[in-house]
């Protein structure tokens, strides 16, 4: 059986610049469109070098410096996007589509708790809070029910604070250090969405 720690890694580091996009038919400034970087990316207390956030009231800042999303959910999104006719059935979900800075492997929401630390080779990040879906998320996913699908599934990803700045690159192995383990990330998300169970 494979060691769970060996399975935890950064698959992709994704960056984006703020630009205009249509949200509900209205032009809106957003940096949700992220693209993978092949480089080693500097990481400061406020996030990744070369990445932007358009609305600092809901994204960015010390507690939400980095947004990470588990690749394990990409199959789900591929299926529901196809069902909604937002993409073809054989079109995979590319890294960065959900607005995530880090596409992760082996760290789904049910395995993460607020205060857990993610040790990378040259940086340390802390699980701070779940991401809540918004109209921009629906727009980039290509169908109006995307936010509802995130709410029902609990597939929210996590915001991360930067405990120790450094550098991040695709392929970085992650070591999970448990925090207080009082508040589970997925449970907090479901409670905030009014779907506690």
Whether 136 is covered by a domain: the verdict is yes
Q: Of residues 167 and 6, which shows the higher confidence score?
A: 167
Whether 197 is covered by a domain: the verdict is no
- Could you tell me the pTM of the whole model? 0.94
Torsional class of 170: left (φ above 0), alpha (ψ -120 to 50), beta (otherwise): beta
Instruction: Determine the pLDDT at residue 57.
Output: 73
Domain range for 60 is 4-192
Instruction: Determine the pLDDT at residue 6.
Output: 54
Instruction: Determine the pLDDT at residue 24.
Output: 83
Whether 92 is covered by a domain: the verdict is yes
Which of the four pLDDT bands, split at 50, 70 and 90, describes residue 196?
very low
Least Cα distance to 103 among 31, 25, 9, 23 occurs for 9
**Alpha-carbon gap, residue 18 to 189, rounded angstroms:** 26
Whether 110 is covered by a domain: the verdict is yes
Give me the number of domains the chain comprises. 1
Instruction: Determine the pLDDT at residue 2.
Output: 46
Instruction: Determine the pLDDT at residue 60.
Output: 83
Whether 38 is covered by a domain: the verdict is yes
Whether 44 is covered by a domain: the verdict is yes
Whether 100 is covered by a domain: the verdict is yes
**Alpha-carbon gap, residue 63 to 128, rounded angstroms:** 6
Whether 27 is covered by a domain: the verdict is yes
Span 149-165, mean pLDDT? 97
Average pLDDT of the chain is 93
Q: What is the pLDDT of residues 60-94, one digit of tens each?
A: 889 999 999 999 999 999 999 999 999 999 999 99
Q: Report the CATH number at residue 48.
A: 2.40.33.20
Q: What is the pLDDT of residues 101-154, one digit of tens each?
A: 999 999 999 999 999 999 999 999 999 999 999 899 999 999 999 999 999 999
Q: What is the pLDDT of residues 40-55, one digit of tens each?
A: 999 999 999 999 988 7
Both tokens of 112, joined, read: 């993460």
For helices 74-83 and 146-153, angle between their N-to-C axes, nearest 10 degrees: 140
């Amino acid at each position: 059986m494979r060691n769970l720690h060996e399975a935890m890694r950064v698959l992709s580091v994704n960056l984006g610049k703020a630009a205009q996009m249509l949200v509900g038919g209205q032009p809106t400034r957003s940096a949700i469109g992220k693209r993978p970087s092949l480089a080693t990316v500097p990481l400061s207390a406020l996030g990744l070098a070369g990445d932007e956030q358009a609305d600092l009231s809901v994204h960015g800042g010390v507690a939400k410096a980095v947004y990470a999303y588990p690749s394990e959910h990409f199959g789900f999104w591929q299926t529901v996007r196809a069902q909604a006719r937002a993409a073809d059935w054989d079109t995979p979900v590319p890294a960065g589509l959900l607005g995530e800075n880090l596409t992760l492997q082996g760290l789904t929401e049910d395995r993460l708790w607020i205060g857990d630390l993610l040790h990378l080779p040259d940086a340390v990040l802390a699980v701070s809070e779940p991401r809540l879906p918004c109209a921009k998320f629906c727009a980039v996913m290509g169908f109006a029910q995307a936010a509802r699908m995130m709410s029902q599934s609990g597939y929210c990803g996590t915001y991360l604070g930067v405990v120790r700045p450094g550098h991040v690159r695709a392929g970085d192995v992650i070591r999970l250090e448990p925090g207080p383990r009082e508040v589970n990330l997925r449970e907090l998300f479901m409670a905030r969405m009014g779907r506690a169970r």
